[in-house]
Chain A
Amino acid sequence: KAGVTQTPRYLIKTRGQQVTLSCSPISGHRSVSWYQQTPGQGLQFLFEYFSETQRNKGNFPGRFSGRQFSNSRSEMNVSTLELGDSALYLCASSWSTSYNEQFFGPGTRLTVL
């Protein structure tokens, strides 16, 4: 069974731009969660989607948004990028909700210049 895949793996953007990251969950998994990982703040929960609906949201500004498609694939968008958005963005999937075993992807390393 293929694992969670994230594209792209690396991304360089400049301040003010927007970016879209993609996550394909494990086949059969309906929940996708997004996390931001930085050396200073550690792992922080962004949001969770389940059956195309946002189920939970972390404490991030509205510049961070996401969506989930009918095939459970998910995208995360960050608008008006700031230097502080530089981070590893991780996606995790689980078969029901994020509060069961989650399987993480390798992440997308975003650098904002």
Chain B
Amino acid sequence: QQQVKQSPQSLIVQKGGISIINCAYENTAFDYFPWYQQFPGKGPALLIAIRPDVSEKKEGRFTISFNKSAKQFSLHIMDSQPGDSATYFCACQNNNDMRFGAGTRLTVKP
């Protein structure tokens, strides 16, 4: 059972553009929703996270939008830069479970 669906699988964006990655979940017991960034040869690194009591969280160029009723959340990268080229994973967690999305490979073209 795929509990976290992430899309798109890959994304190509021009420098300066907006990158948008989406995740949908099924289990309403999840209460922590992080996004991770992974560069080749490295482990994932926490980028930004949100809890379901807020609908949006912004940190620099990165924003999470959260829709609790739709059980969806998304990552927006504003002014995308070539250095943002990486694989991004969404995750859904609670005290007893943690599930990752399948990942999105983002390429930002200069």
Contact = CB atoms under 8 A, between A and B. Distances in A.
Contacts of A7: none
Determine the interface band of chain A, counting residues with CB < 8 A from chain B: 10 to 19
Contacts of A107: 43
Contacts, number: 44
Given A43-B89, A97-B95, A102 B46 contact: yes
Contacts of A105: 43
Interface residues of B, number: 22
A26 interface: no
A42 B103 contact: yes
Main secondary structure of the interface of B (DSSP, over half): strand
Given A104-B36, A106-B41, 20 more contacts: A4-B43, A33-B98, A45-B98, A45-B99, A56-B96, A90-B43, A98-B93, A98-B98, A99-B98, A101-B34, A101-B49, A102-B46, A103-B45, A103-B46, A104-B43, A104-B44, A104-B45, A105-B43, A106-B42, A107-B43
Interface of B: 32, 34, 36, 41-46, 49, 89, 93-103
